[in-house]
Structure 1
């Protein structure tokens, strides 16, 4: 744990059931021309979008809708959206959706102000541009998972069209991308089907665990991570059994936001590095990849993770007296929760998998695209060791 640390959150958070009804008046302080980013074909949020559309009209706002985001946004989509925002003359960017929508909204806000194309700002370029400014961003999450509403991070698929480069998931990180306002209305998550709720909880739990174990973890980070973890374990089963359960939905929405704050402060570690590689090369949805990789990363980091996991096991009332027994109880409890949520335990690799050295390719991808997460991992790891972890995971 760090001896010297600081905590700063540039995003104002408004949290509460039904608060989305006040969206119009919340936006007006940043201007009248709103560029609204949402899902293609509504993605089950048609009713939510229609309701919010009415609130924006009532507030006298001029709105340009860009409802083209899919589950995993790519660079080309962001560039098209940014051009549309510039042509519209947007005063601010609104994102209403899950992490892919919020990440897209952030990048659009940056490009609308800075100009250029997204690939010019991504890590891995010979001389990437710095994103130092952005239009005001308002983030309204409709899932309880990514915590993107409170981070200055955005993740995108990228493959150089010139060829010769493996597919990558790259993280754009810039202080300018922190939303001005996170409007967290748990009521908006009620329409999430159980599978989406489970995926979101797995991602948020991954954020909490990894932030708490990061080399940058502070007492504040570990406090936020622990509170998020407790809520996910206690309330995810209730949401899966009773999707309309208000108390459970509020708890998961709060957990996702707390975990997102912890992630922003301390960063992700090994599990997310592995998950990004699986997403880029094997096409796994991010949250499923996190669920697959989290137990494996905890086993690798066991000596460093054991004290934290033992404390968390005690908070959850799990059996055990000694640190080792408590930590093992936590890991078993985690795996039971993922099983109950019907989350996968092994990656589905493109076939024929035997013709590709997947472990080596995945390890190379992780080191190339998520070097910061690997450096923040509490235990050092090299490419050969990471390939061995992938080998065990892919059996």
Structure 2
């Protein structure tokens, strides 16, 4: 076996149904007593319910979390945090809300408790991406790793089918790249294959029966494993392209990952034979990239970046930005090849 390094990130995870009931206890366990509840505008009702249940432990709410963690929104949230006299944050939602909680923690070190409502996975990572003046930058620091994550399957039962599929594919992308990232190791490979298998099996069941608690539980379990892979492993071409496309053209996060994943995987496939073997086992298919494309389309996900509003005229600019500060990748990056990926992803073609 080749030498490897595995770094497990410290985090407390509580998984099950109805686990939100321990939220007040977890706030107190962090020696906190004034939680600022964070949500996006559509999830404000959930935030209001949690705020009411917390009573005096709630310092207030901030409901303007936004995609790609705009710095301007974070500055607003910081003012709300200080005005409320908060000493911790409770983030209810997906990547947008969790990203805002991380951005606050980066600036003032506040403890974070996260209640994920999607399969995005940011809650298990020390990665933060922030957008300012049209460009998204990322960094890794333990300052932004949430202290406690409460996975409550009940919080995912109302997640719309389309969003469930794109959020699940986003999670799968984390595990796919962990199989061949620069920090790949046997421990993460086990988690990655299990996570992909769980989500890949759960998503069609959710499409068929959105309220199926067993399917939702399997999906959330798989998403957790995929998130651990993202947090403790690394990323490559797929995530670089998604950061470029999302940050530069304001494209929705999960949908962008869903569209790009099959194309980035097809590009790297010749250089990652071991990873492809694991992916074939996890998907039960000799064509994992094609199967990822198919399962997304069957779940109603958009096929191409043009469906998200990206102009065809911006393809060349996306290629140019992708070569700035490139991430590690197992296959050398070739400008013509990257242009083909982005064009195929823009058009919604099935990967070959």
Q: Per the alignment, do residues 4 and 292 of structure 1 end up closer, same or farther by CA in structure 2, a change over 3 Å counting?
A: same
Look up the match of 2:315.
359
Q: Aligned pair in 2 of structure 1 residues 206, 291: CA closer, same or farther (>3 Å)?
A: same
Note closer, same or farther for the CA distance 1:290–1:109 as it changes in structure 2 (3 Å cut). same
Residue 150 of structure 1: CA displacement? 0.9
Match of 2:251 among 268, 284, 293: 284
Is residue 155–residue 169 contact of structure 1 (8 Å, CA) maintained in 2? Answer: yes
Note the alpha carbon deviations across 1:169-221, whole angstroms, 9 max, x for none: 22242111111101111110111111111111010011111111212111111
Instruction: Report the equivalent of 2:135.
Output: 168
Is residue 165 of structure 2 the alignment partner of residue 202 of structure 1? Answer: no
Q: What CA distance in whole angstroms lies between the structure 1 residues aligned with 2:240 and 2:310?
A: 24
2:53 corresponds in structure 1 to 55
CA offset digits 1:1-32 (Å, max 9, x no partner): 96121222211111111101221111112211
8 Å contact from structure 1 (residues 282, 348) kept in 2: no
CA distance in 1: counterparts of 2:93 and 2:85, whole angstroms: 22
Q: Which residue of 2 aligns with 1:10?
A: 10
Give the distance between the partners of 2:244 and 2:80, measured in 1 at CA.
31
Q: For the Cα contact (< 8 Å) 1:359–1:388, is it kept in 2?
A: no
Aligned to 2:279, the other structure's residue is in SS state helix
Where in structure 1 are there 5+ consecutive unaligned residues?
Answer: 114-133, 160-166, 319-325
Match of 1:136 among 103, 111, 114: 111
How far off its partner does 1:79 sit? 1.0
Residue pair 1:205, 1:259 contacting (<8 A) in 2 also: yes
Q: Which of 68, 71, 75 is 2:71 aligned to?
A: 75
Alignment root-mean-square deviation, CA: 2.2
User: How many aligned positions are there?
Assistant: 346
Paired position in structure 2 for 1:33: 34
Contiguous gaps of at least 5 residues in structure 2: 348-352
User: What's the CA shift for 1:376?
Assistant: 2.3
Distance 1:389 1:37, change over 3 A: same
Pair 1:390 & 2:348 matched = no
Provide the C-alpha distance between the structure 2 equivalents of 1:352 and 1:235, rounded to a whole number of angstroms. 30
Classify the secondary structure of the residue corresponding to 2:6: coil
1:340 corresponds to which residue?
A: 298
Q: How does 1:235-246 map onto structure 2 within 5 Å?
A: 235-246=202-213
**Which of 88, 91, 96 matches 1:92?**
88
Distance 1:235 1:12 in 2: 25
Matched, 1:150 2:124: yes
CA apart distance, 1:276: 1.9
Distance 2:309 2:217 in 1: 41
How much does 1:277 deviate?
1.8
Indicate if the aligned counterparts of 1:2 and 1:216 stay in contact, CA closer than 8 A. Answer: no
With normalisation by structure 1, the TM-score equals 0.82
Quote the offset at 1:298 in angstroms: 1.3
